[in-house]
């Protein structure tokens, strides 16, 4: 945020005439704004960070799931509050899903987002690139495996490689935080219950998705003991499916 915009924002936050402040952004900024507005007895409507997850169970249709994962994790270069950041895959499908994702990630064209041949554009600024690189370095130190990506692209601009990460502890601080960049953590799970439990064990519950053809799993995911998120998708909505399939068609038939 440039200084002039920050000054205007601070004026809005502090103005007692404004009874309700609506804010979309990071959890840290939302916490600070909430405290300042509450101090003057105002109210806040906050849409904050999302450490969002997709679950793929053993019955999932991968023709739907793989495009949706790529679209969710790579679209807008990971700079969206509903970006997919964690992927839980049943052990029976884990190897295939990781193989298919790796093939697709290697085909993603990165560059000017106004060029229709490109699938992913840049991060917003240099500080975002530095946060991405710091996260990659922290992951390397933790012993995580970088399957794809993990580096800056070129000297000019703010382009980075979309990144797949495996063999990282779900409770490591880097996974528990929201890195606003195209980094996707892939975890192997043994059951739908384990996947839901892990999905819910972060502090940012915004969006979630389940790919399944098992009605019992779907009902559990949507129940009070299921997804603890504001958004719970099942095999995603039609519009998102269309956009995801369009992305994969652009990439070619690599699934």
Q: In this predicted model, what pLDDT tens digit does every residue of 26-58 receive, in sequence order?
A: 777 888 999 999 999 999 988 777 899 999 999
Q: What is the pLDDT of residues 163-179, one digit of tens each?
A: 999 999 999 999 999 99
Higher pLDDT, 3 or 211: 211
Contact 233, 241 (CB under 8 A): no
Confidence of residue 236 (pLDDT cuts 50, 70, 90): confident
Torsion, CA 149, CA 133, CA 46, CA 13, rounded to 10: -150
Is 134 an active-site residue? no
Per-residue pLDDT at 251: 58
Question: Considering only CA atoms, which of 115, 162, 131, 169 is closest in space to residue 28?
Answer: 131
Q: Which of the following is catalytic: 5, 10, 44, 47?
A: 47
Higher-scoring residue by pLDDT: 49, 144 = 144
Residue position matching structure tokens 């038939």: 253
52-251 folds as Aldehyde Dehydrogenase; Chain A, domain 2 (3.40.309)
pLDDT of 246 > 70? The answer is: no
User: What pLDDT band is residue 241 in, cutting at 50, 70 and 90?
Assistant: low
Q: Where are the alpha helices (DSSP H) in the chain?
A: 3-14, 27-39, 62-74, 94-105, 126-142, 173-176, 192-200, 215-222, 238-251
The confidence score (pLDDT) of residue 175 equals 97
Q: Per the residue annotation, which of 44, 81, 138, 243 is the catalytic one?
A: 81
The contacts of residue 125 (CB under 8 Å, 6+ apart) are 158
254 pLDDT exceeds 80?
no
Please report the pLDDT score of residue 2 as a whole number.
56
Rounded mean pLDDT, 101-116: 94
- Tell how strand 145-148 and strand 163-166 pair up: antiparallel
Residue 1: pLDDT over 60: no
**Cβ distance 79 to 124 under 8 Å?**
yes
Give the mean pLDDT of the chain: 91
Residues 6 or more apart whose CB falls under 8 angstroms from that of 84 comprise 52, 53, 54, 69, 72, 73, 184, 209
Q: Give Cα separations from 135 to 2, 84, 110, 174, 185 (angstroms).
A: 24, 16, 20, 7, 12
- pLDDT over threshold 60, residue 252: no
Alpha-carbon Rg for the chain in angstroms: 19
In degrees to the nearest 10, what's the CA dihedral of 100, 209, 195, 24?
110
Domain boundaries, given as residue ranges, for the chain: 3-47, 52-251
Q: What is the SS3 assignment for 108-138?
A: CCECCCCCCCCCECCCCCHHHHHHHHHHHHH
Identify the H or E element spanning 164.
Answer: strand 163-166
Is residue 47 flagged as an active site residue? yes
**Residue indicated by tokens 């840290």:** 28
The pLDDT of 63-81, averaged and rounded, is 93
């Amino acid at each position: 945020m440039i200084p002039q915009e920050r000054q205007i924002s601070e004026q809005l936050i502090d103005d007692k005439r404004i009874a309700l402040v609506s804010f979309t952004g990071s959890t840290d900024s939302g916490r600070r704004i909430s405290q300042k507005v509450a101090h003057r007895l105002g109210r806040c409507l906050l849409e904050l960070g999302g450490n969002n997850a997709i679950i793929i169970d053993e019955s999932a249709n991968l023709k739907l799931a793989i495009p949706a994962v790529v679209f969710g994790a790579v679209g807008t270069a990971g700079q969206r509050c509903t970006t997919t950041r964690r992927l839980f895959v049943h052990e029976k499908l884990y190897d295939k899903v990781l193989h298919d994702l790796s093939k697709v990630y290697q085909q993603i064209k990165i560059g000017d987002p106004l060029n229709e041949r490109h699938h992913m554009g840049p991060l917003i600024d240099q500080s975002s690139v530095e946060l991405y690189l710091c996260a990659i370095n922290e992951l390397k130190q933790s012993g995580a495996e970088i399957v794809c990506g993990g580096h800056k692209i070129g000297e000019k601009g703010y382009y980075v490689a979309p990144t797949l990460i495996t063999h990282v502890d779900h409770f490591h601080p880097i996974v528990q935080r929201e890195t606003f960049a195209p980094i996707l953590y892939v975890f192997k799970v043994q059951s739908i219950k384990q996947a839901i439990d892990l999905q819910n064990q972060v502090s940012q519950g915004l969006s979630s998705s389940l790919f399944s053809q098992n009605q019992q799993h779907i009902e559990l995911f949507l129940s009070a003991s299921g997804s603890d998120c504001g958004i719970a998708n099942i095999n995603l909505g039609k519009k998102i499916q269309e956009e995801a399939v369009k992305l994969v068609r652009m990439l070619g038939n690599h699934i």
